[in-house]
Amino acid sequence: MLLGYFKVLFGMRYFGLGFVFSLVVVFLLLSLGFLSGQEEVSEEELREEIRQIERDIAEEREFFQKFVEQENQALKERKLEREALAQEIGERIGDIRAINQEIFQLETKIKEIASFNDLVNDYLLAFARELKTSIEEGIPFEREKRAAVLSILISDLEKGAVSANEAFSRINNFLASEIALGYDSQNLKVIEKVGGLDREFELLRIGRIFFALIDGEKIVLWNLDEEGKYYLDPDQELSINQTRTIKNISAMLQGRKAPEITNIPLDVKQLLEK
């Protein structure tokens, strides 16, 4: 019977320190005579029961020791994980700060570029306006068509619809086309004011030098007024020989005559003025 009590009570060892509580209960029962009416237990059985208790205690101690070791190891691992996580968080915070600094520097650079772009665009806008005015008042050749190219560019610059690089490229291309006018020749029909009246005539362009063939016979030159604008001057009529030479050049340009080397009937002073 006593053996049964021990087995029941010490079966609580898996509840941590339950075996200590079991011992206390057993010895209290013995001291109060609770077991006095039970069957006697032999000394050998008692010793065997004690040895079993000792084995249980040793087993419980070993179990508890392993449990403590496992918990301590788990604590160490969690501590290492927290330290590693804290280090990683610190590194990420450093990365974020570095990225924020780069973003700030890029934003500053973008503002500087935008400011420079605005400054360059303002300069290009003023230059395009001056260039358009010079075209409108310059050589009498497709003024409206050439000025329209600049009008579109000016509009784009005013609306901020074009970058400084693109605007510069468009101005550069326009200037290249203007320079090219000095390397070719052309015949075309135009309408200009002559003596205050609109007259249709044949315009002969040799590079950037212009002649007007009026009524198929009379050839006159352009002149500059007091404001520096070109106009057809009836008083600038060429001589008979000069007129014949210009007509020959016109025939060559139109393919009605074989090309040949011909001197333009203008002296050096006139060429420089033009």
pLDDT digits (tens, 9 = 90+) for 58-114: 888 889 899 999 999 999 999 999 999 999 998 899 899 889 988 888 888 888 777
Tokens 């329209």, residue? 148
Long-range own/partner contacts, residues 194-198 (CB < 8 A, 24 or more apart): 194/220, 194/232, 194/234, 195/234
- Give the residue ranges of the chain where pLDDT is below 50: 1-19, 21, 24-26, 28-29, 31-37, 267-274
Residue 157 has a pLDDT of: 92
Residue 272 has a pLDDT of: 38
Residue 41 has a pLDDT of: 65
Identify the three-state secondary structure at position 237: strand
Q: What is the separation, in whole angstroms, between the first and last Cα of the chain?
A: 139
Give the separation between CA 184 and CA 15, rounded to whole angstroms. 110
Residue 212 has a pLDDT of: 73
pTM of the model: 0.50
C-alpha distance from residue 153 to each of 2, 92, 125, 165 (Å): 113, 49, 8, 13
